[in-house]
Amino acid sequence: MIKETSSNALNKAFLLKSCRINTALDTISGRWKALILIHISEETNRFSLLKSALGGISDQTLGKCLKELERDGLLWKEIIAEVPVRVDYHLSEKGKALLPILVSLSEWSDMK
């Protein structure tokens, strides 16, 4: 967590306010978020399934990423009343709209 009054925090706040691209990149930044969204789009949509698919991710990191993605409107969770309770994650319309952008970013990254 960045101290709110640090120059780093103030610079980040300025960049997020002054450029919507920075806001978008901040929303999907991080090591795992893009992969999580892709796996959810492919129906790997439960915590345990995502944990298995993502290999080295910790429970804490996966939970944090899922909460942030939900907070930012990219996914929503469905609580299914079973024993034990099951939670499925689904992409929102905003999350679905991001998928082609992620594909384009991947293709751009592969350019020589």
pLDDT tens-place string over residues 71-87: 999 999 999 999 989 99
Q: Are residues 63 and 101 in the same domain?
A: yes
Answer for the pair 45, 89: CB distance below 8 angstroms, yes or no.
Answer: yes
Q: How is residue 24 written in tokens?
A: 């978008």
Q: Are residues 64 and 103 in the same domain?
A: yes
- When pLDDT is averaged across residues 83-92 and rounded to a whole number, the result is 94
> Which pLDDT tens digit goes with each residue over 97-110?
999 999 999 999 99
Answer for the pair 40, 90: CB distance below 8 angstroms, yes or no.
Answer: yes
CA atoms of 14 and 35, how far apart (whole Å): 28
Q: Are residues 39 and 89 in the same domain?
A: yes
Q: Are residues 8 and 53 in the same domain?
A: no
pLDDT of residue 63: 96
Q: Are residues 21 and 71 in the same domain?
A: no
Q: Are residues 88 and 43 in the same domain?
A: yes
* More confident position, 112 or 51: 51
Q: Are residues 17 and 41 in the same domain?
A: no
> Residue 16's domain spans which residues?
1-30
- When pLDDT is averaged across residues 24-52 and rounded to a whole number, the result is 93
Q: The CATH number of the domain where 99 resides is what?
A: 1.10.10.10
Q: Are residues 24 and 49 in the same domain?
A: no
Q: Are residues 40 and 26 in the same domain?
A: no
pTM: 0.83
Q: Are residues 62 and 26 in the same domain?
A: no
